[in-house]
Amino acid sequence: MRTSMPYTPPIVITTEDIAALRERGPGACLTWHEDTAAIEAVTPREALDPRRMIIASHRGLGEVADQYTEDGRQATEDDLACDLTDIASDYALDWPLIRTMNLMCQDLRSQLADTCAYLAAPPIYENPSLGAPRMTDHYRLTGGQRIAHVTVTWAFAHPTRIRTRDPIDDRRAFADLTLVTGGMLTHRAISDLIAGTVWQTLDQSH
């Protein structure tokens, strides 16, 4: 475990961090903790801590390496560390806003974790220039292939979109649903509704 200064000055990923993420194995995430500035490879449930900024998942690290393969060469650990440093720098710019959305999504994420559906990639925050802040989480069941992309707005004020796909056959979405999540429902009731729907689309027995 190492430490780095929060926000900017930059978060620097090293080859040791890459090795730690590999060692943690499938489902693990490389994160930066805002309280301690520690860069750690953590379990899927530990990654749900709203104070942790997810930099890359174990699967995401492989996807970065695959980009080098497509370009005709093998990625070195230094290449990967440099790329993840760039990714962390980009996420750090939006971190205060991502953290706010993390807190709003904490109940939803916890409910999905109870069904073994965890974040499979860093959340993507979108600039609210044309409305309420919006963020997309990416979930996968432990041992599953399908990925659910769940886009929510601040306070669930606008409809929530759930798009679930199989990365092996990405020609079409397995499910593409929109849930009306405003109105008089409580925050917990909305989280229940979204979590149940996401799980149904991820469960490959359905």
Give me the pLDDT at residue 205, please: 67
% of the chain beyond a pLDDT of 70: 92
| Residue spans per domain, the chain | 2-93, 104-202
Q: pLDDT band at 174, cuts 50/70/90?
A: confident
DSSP-derived secondary structure for 46-91: GGG-TTEEEEEEHHHHHHHHHHHHHTTSPPPHHHHHHHHHHHHHHH
Comparing CA positions, the residue from 37, 34, 29 lying closest to residue 1 is 37
The whole-chain average pLDDT of the chain stands at: 91
Is the pLDDT confidence value at 4 over 50? Answer: no
Residue 188 clears pLDDT 50, i.e. is over it: yes
State pLDDT tens for residues 50-95.
999 999 999 999 999 999 999 999 999 999 999 999 999 999 999 9
* 30 touches 41 (CB < 8 A): yes
Give me the mean pLDDT over the 94-121 stretch: 96
Total residue length of the chain: 206
Residue 177 contacts residue 201 (beta carbons within 8 Å): yes
What integer pLDDT is reported at residue 5 of this predicted model?
41
pLDDT range class, residue 9, cuts 50, 70, 90 = low
Question: How many other β-carbons are positioned within 10 Å of the β-carbon of residue 136?
Answer: 17
130 compared with 173, residue with greater pLDDT: 173
pLDDT beyond 80 at 169: no
